[in-house]
Structure 1
Amino acid sequence: MSSQHPPAPASLLRLWPAVVLVAVQWLLWFVIPLFFPGTMMLALIGAAAGGLGVLVWWFFFSRLPWSERLGVVALMVASVVVLQRIVHPSIANAMMGMMLPIYSVPVFCLALVGAAAAARRQAPGPRRLILGLAILAASGTFALLRTGGITGEGDADLHWRWQQSPEERLLAHGSAAASTGTKTPGPSVAVQPSSWPGFRGAQRDAAVRGTALTWDGPSTAPTALWRRPVGPGWSSFAVEGDLLYTQEQRGEEEVVACYRLTTGEPVWSHGDRVRFWESNAGAGPRGTPLLHQGKVFACGATGLVNALDARTGAVVWSRRAADDTGQKIPDWGFAGSPLAAGDLVIVATAGVVAAYDAAKGNLRWVGPKGGWGYSSPHAATLDGVPQILFCNGQGVLALAPVDGALLWQHAWKSDGIAQPALLPDGDILLGSGSGLGTKSGVLRLAVTRRGGKWTSEERWSSLVVKPYYNDLVVHRGHVYGFDGSRLACLELDAGERRWKGGRYGHGQILLLADQDLLLVLSESGEVALVKAVPDAFVELARIPAIQGKTWNHPVLAGDVLLVRNSEEMAAFRFASSSRRP
């Protein structure tokens, strides 16, 4: 007489509801976002709803013994708890620590239903073994992965854990760009307005004037001058003559580096033993250097401010702005870029602005506390009064450049990331994109002064453009910017949308004002040319430029286009272009 248990009846496990639930769950979680960007919220809802549905099926309709139902769920929970301790930090900390729990729901559901289907005719002992091994195998997969960060849509850039990151490859190959301390002098940098002195240009409006670029097809596409690996960071460029300046991370050193504009060859670099990293955006500085009075001013992700000789990289002075302002390093690091205001250099540390003497580095003033923020100080003149605008999570405030006194402020809870846009009539546009506990869309603000008193009034707000960490450009009575991953045009009178088109991820744009053109750098590293006209969306041309997630602002210096991300940087020359006098 056999002692083996007889096979479980085929009717014991009711499987079809779970198959339908997992199929719908993965359709919403994986398939739809793959073909329709911007549907991450739908994916998250689908993953959670599908997980809840599978859990209800497992507990109340699977027909399995309660010991198996409870045991499998307990094993899932225990796996996630253990995994949080052994997975790569880029996964454990991603999405505010919620990436592993969120991603494990659809993976565990698929593993559970797949194992249940495979074991449905097995005896209880083998069935439990199959179910347990499936859950352990699914959870073990996470231990083999790392992520290079999160895209603007919330997708994870997954890699095998043992694969080198671009930064590790850069350092391992001993690239010349990875050697700090080089102090080869460049040509003398004149103390005069630079061709592109810092973040988004001289006026911080991402507008280039005097261009006559030709690019209307493959035969006139810009040609690559050079490309080279670069350390991680979300810095853009400052340019003067044949020199460009940027910030990057190289191992344990946060670096300000100078390269040749026309060849990409390193000229000098300065490094500090500072490293900032967070799992969503990765390592490295977020701000862009400033050229002013023959010096390079740079603010790193931890608030270290350096003033360097622009020709040699020698340190003129250094300050720790976080200590000066009493601010803690925010979740995504200090992201503001320095601003010049006469003999002052102004920096932002989260929600607080501080000013330093450009020559000596003495702290001149600290602005009022303002919560958190990731934007940069912005110079403006309203009603004839110079002021420093700053957007933080609570709204926008204006400070007197001479002493940091508060002139006025307007409450508008936002992401505190996008730069304000100044309109010809003195109005201000504010933008916010996430909508996660904040405003979302664009606000037109009128600011006036009567009898020495400042007042602000909201003219209109619109939800049809929602800039997140990309900025707006204003041109001929219209504003152009990103609504999620797509480009959009609004008219300024009432904030009504004129068109919406193209898919560029969370990219960045430059305005070629004299040619009515937008130069778009997509999140995937493509460069496109789009008409800056309100009639319709028209993309004229597009080429691949660099590889990898690209959030950095592009720069056009003469006929040379500079692009970079956290992996590489490149320069392109427009073949049939010239500068208008």
Structure 2
Amino acid sequence: MPTITNRAQRALPCLIACLLLAASGARAEDWPEFRGKGRHGVWNETGILERFPENGLDVAWRTPINRGYSGPAVVGGRVFVSDFARSSPTAGVERAVCLDEQTGEILWTHEWEANYLGIAWDEGPRATPTVDGDRVYVQGAAGTLVALDAETGEPLWSRHFREEYGADMPIYGFASSPLVDGERLITLVGGVPDAKVVAFDKLTGEEVWRALSSEESGPGVAQPIIIEASGVRQLIVWHPVALSSLDPETGEVYWEEPFRIDYDITVAVPVQSGRELFVTTFYNGPLMMTLDADRPAAAVHWKGESNSEILTDGLHSVMATPFIIDGYIYGIGSYGQLRCLDAATGERIWETQAVTAERARWASAFLVRHEDRFFINNDRGDLIIARMTPEGYEEISRTHLLAPTSEPGNRRELKTVNWSHPAYANRHIYARNDEEIIAASLAAASLDGAAPQPPGKP
């Protein structure tokens, strides 16, 4: 059962914040799922600072939480995240946690038992909660999917992938953030024999359709997305055997391109730009597809030739999703290199180590586009504002946001990393490590020099 805490009335601060937003002409927005609305990694709010203050960001609140990689979602004045508390070497309790966006107070939690035996980097849940209306959907790393009332935390339904679908434990656990499409909740299950991806009724949890064989691999990690090409809505599922396009209403396969991925590292989200569809992975590198203009089909445009994490061509990403802008690809490579590629050919235009600072295995950073610049959260806990063009990388401002706490293994001088994607909402950034979650203001200073307003809206 959820645990509920009492909440004080905060109507006046909310009203003041909203009046200030209205007076400034600033537009605020929520962050309801992984990489924001539509999973595009684009932040559209106005009234955002141009540079960080010299003494760092104004932190509105800090709240202790347990371990995990799950990024936060922010909707309707609430912040949703998941975590894990270990009770033995391989088991413990996963939680869904809901916090007040203004104060960081925990409003409710819902927990369940989880066995992490067989999961690499077993620090906690990977998937960001998905918020849809009055419901929040939370995927646990051990295969439990829960639907909860977003207001109260009451459980509405749950599914258990290993018990119900015979799914093997994926190398990195169950890591796909559920995707809401109409009345369906679509996610990667890895069920046998033919339930690698499953659509559930989002209200009842009943199965609507299943698709793709799991006989050759598990589900992988990459989040499913919806694109439109040739006038047809397509569900794109990138898994360790192929890049697949399905009808999101029925699960029928439109097209597939075989692409065998070593160690199931399908982490970066597929990226669409017009008729281009791009994926990239740590060992096997990049694949660029051209989407057919007249029917749901695709053909290989170009593909990387190297299967090496060191002697890389194109872009060999670990977990950072790249961007395609005006015919150029910008993304983080296998050892933390920020690269610019010609999207038409895969040719490297430039490279810099400036973002991650250290050329080290799995060094990474999460890119979010805001207007003509990027907010970049690197795994050292820094937040960077930068511009990227074919001419090069221009760093505008950098500040330290949050201490890295996860131990990545034998790869770096820093010894710890932060591999959780932050949320950007209501002119704030929400970020977590294995000890706490914070909210920090990214609002531009008002003309009268007033202090940053608290996050949230009524």
1:209 shift after superposition? 1.7
Instruction: Give the structure with higher Rg (CA).
Output: 1
**Is 2:82 the partner of 1:247?**
yes
**Following the alignment from structure 1 to structure 2, what is the Cα–Cα distance between the partners of residues 277 and 229?**
26
**Following the alignment from structure 1 to structure 2, what is the Cα–Cα distance between the partners of residues 460 and 333?**
28
**Structure 1 stretch displaced more, 551-560 or 413-422:** 413-422
**Is 2:207 the partner of 1:360?**
no
Q: Which amino acid aligns with 2:292?
A: T
**Following the alignment from structure 1 to structure 2, what is the Cα–Cα distance between the partners of residues 215 and 447?**
37
Distance of aligned partners of 1:529 and 1:510 in 2 relative to their CA distance in 1, 3 Å threshold: same
Give the TM-score normalised by structure 1.
Answer: 0.62
1:196-235, aligned counterparts within 5 Å?
196-216=31-51, 218-219=53-54, 221-235=56-70
Deviations 1:304-341 (A, max 9, x none): 11110000000111111334433211122111110001
**Is 2:328 the partner of 1:485?**
no
| Residue aligning to 1:258 | 98
| Residue aligning to 2:233 | 386
Distance of aligned partners of 1:531 and 1:305 in 2 relative to their CA distance in 1, 3 Å threshold: same
1:210 shift after superposition? 3.5
Q: Which amino acid aligns with 2:351?
A: K
Aligned with 2:347 (options 483, 496, 513): 496
**Residues 470 and 482, structure 1, Cα contact 8 Å, conserved in 2:** yes
Q: Which amino acid aligns with 1:420?
A: P
1:376-525, aligned counterparts within 5 Å?
376-414=223-261, 415-423=265-273, 425-433=274-282, 435=283, 439-440=284-285, 442-448=286-292, 454-459=297-302, 461=304, 463-483=313-333, 484-501=335-352, 502-504=354-356, 506-514=363-371, 516-525=372-381
Q: Which amino acid aligns with 1:366?
A: R
1:288 shift after superposition? 0.9
**Following the alignment from structure 1 to structure 2, what is the Cα–Cα distance between the partners of residues 245 and 453?**
36
SS in 2 for 1:273: strand
Deviations 1:396-439 (A, max 9, x none): 1011111211111101223322210011x222001111x2xxx1
**Residues 486 and 500, structure 1, Cα contact 8 Å, conserved in 2:** yes
**Following the alignment from structure 1 to structure 2, what is the Cα–Cα distance between the partners of residues 323 and 399?**
26
Amino-acid identity (%):
25
SS in 2 for 1:283: coil
Aligned with 2:138 (options 298, 320, 343): 298
Q: Which amino acid aligns with 2:321?
A: D
SS in 2 for 1:322: helix
**Is 2:444 the partner of 1:576?**
yes
1:264-275, aligned counterparts within 5 Å?
264-275=104-115
Distance of aligned partners of 1:455 and 1:510 in 2 relative to their CA distance in 1, 3 Å threshold: closer
Q: Which amino acid aligns with 1:499?
A: W
1:490 shift after superposition? 2.1
**Following the alignment from structure 1 to structure 2, what is the Cα–Cα distance between the partners of residues 560 and 453?**
39
Deviations 1:212-258 (A, max 9, x none): 42243544853212223321111111111321101101232110110
Give the TM-score normalised by structure 2.
Answer: 0.78
**Is 2:133 the partner of 1:284?**
no
**Following the alignment from structure 1 to structure 2, what is the Cα–Cα distance between the partners of residues 565 and 343?**
33
**Following the alignment from structure 2 to structure 1, what is the Cα–Cα distance between the partners of residues 48 and 401?**
17
Greater strand proportion = 2
Q: What is the CA RMSD across the aligned residues, in angstroms?
A: 2.6
**Residues 57 and 401, structure 2, Cα contact 8 Å, conserved in 1:** no
**Following the alignment from structure 1 to structure 2, what is the Cα–Cα distance between the partners of residues 379 and 507?**
25
Distance of aligned partners of 1:384 and 1:260 in 2 relative to their CA distance in 1, 3 Å threshold: same
SS in 2 for 1:413: coil
1:499 shift after superposition? 2.5
Distance of aligned partners of 1:278 and 1:320 in 2 relative to their CA distance in 1, 3 Å threshold: closer
Q: Which amino acid aligns with 2:249?
A: V
1:184 shift after superposition? 4.1
**Structure 1 stretch displaced more, 388-397 or 482-491:** 482-491
Which consecutive residues of structure 1, in runs of 5 or more, have no partner in the other structure?
1-179, 188-192
1:278 shift after superposition? 5.7
SS in 2 for 1:274: strand
**Following the alignment from structure 1 to structure 2, what is the Cα–Cα distance between the partners of residues 388 and 292?**
18
Aligned with 1:540 (options 386, 396, 402): 396
SS in 1 for 2:59: strand
**Residues 322 and 328, structure 1, Cα contact 8 Å, conserved in 2:** yes
SS in 1 for 2:162: helix
Higher RCO (C-alpha 8 Å, min separation 6): 2
1:318-333, aligned counterparts within 5 Å?
318-333=158-173
Distance of aligned partners of 1:413 and 1:223 in 2 relative to their CA distance in 1, 3 Å threshold: same
| Residue aligning to 1:181 | 2
Distance of aligned partners of 1:461 and 1:294 in 2 relative to their CA distance in 1, 3 Å threshold: same
1:201 shift after superposition? 1.2
1:496 shift after superposition? 2.6
1:493 shift after superposition? 2.8
Greater helix proportion = 1
**Following the alignment from structure 1 to structure 2, what is the Cα–Cα distance between the partners of residues 358 and 365?**
12
SS in 1 for 2:49: coil
